[in-house]
Structure 1
Amino acid sequence: MDTQHTIDQLHRADERINAQRNRIKADPDDAFDKLVKFAVPSAAGLLAGKLAEMVWKRVRGERENSILASMVFAALSAALGSLITSLATRGSEGLVSARHKRKA
């Protein structure tokens, strides 16, 4: 009885492993595609944040930021970062999609 229970557990584990393997095989994205989809939007968001910071410092100069100015900067920086990241995500997905079409 114990042996049959162990065998049943191994069969269930084997079924889960096979299901995961099939999901991986069905995914058209390879490691490079996944890297592009991750790295491009991440780098674009980082660059957008740094650009917003540089512009803010240039506009504000050496003046100390008030709480209101800090809140405005945070909101503008977040909006810009979100917009750029979203556009970069679309672009990287389009790039990967075009790459898949070329392969086919």
Structure 2
Amino acid sequence: MAKVFKAISSGLSVTFLYVMAVFIAPIILMLLGFSNLIAAPTLFGLKLYNIEVKDTVFTTEATFFGCLLAFIVGLIIHFTIKFLLGLRKTVSEGSN
């Protein structure tokens, strides 16, 4: 059960980083001098996020699909690291 909670925690951590990046990006773009910008990339016809910067006003939106994708990426990273660490442990035991 603890392994499941650790995997979910990893997924939620990556999702939190995604949301923070989406909400901080317009501020950084405004500081870099971008005054008219609309960014709304799509994957499979669904928006990942929506950022609009116009003069000194900005709007930003982290979509459900983007959050879900970030959660899945977090799970993939977690299980990949677990697999690689297990593989490393098996190889080191085999050389003894």
**Bigger relative CO (Cα 8 Å, ≥ 6 apart):** 1
Q: Which has the higher helix share?
A: 1
Q: TM-score range by the shorter chain?
A: 0.3 to 0.5
Q: Which has the higher strand share?
A: 2
TM (norm. structure 2) is 0.38
When Rg is computed on C-alpha atoms for both structures, the one with the higher figure is 1
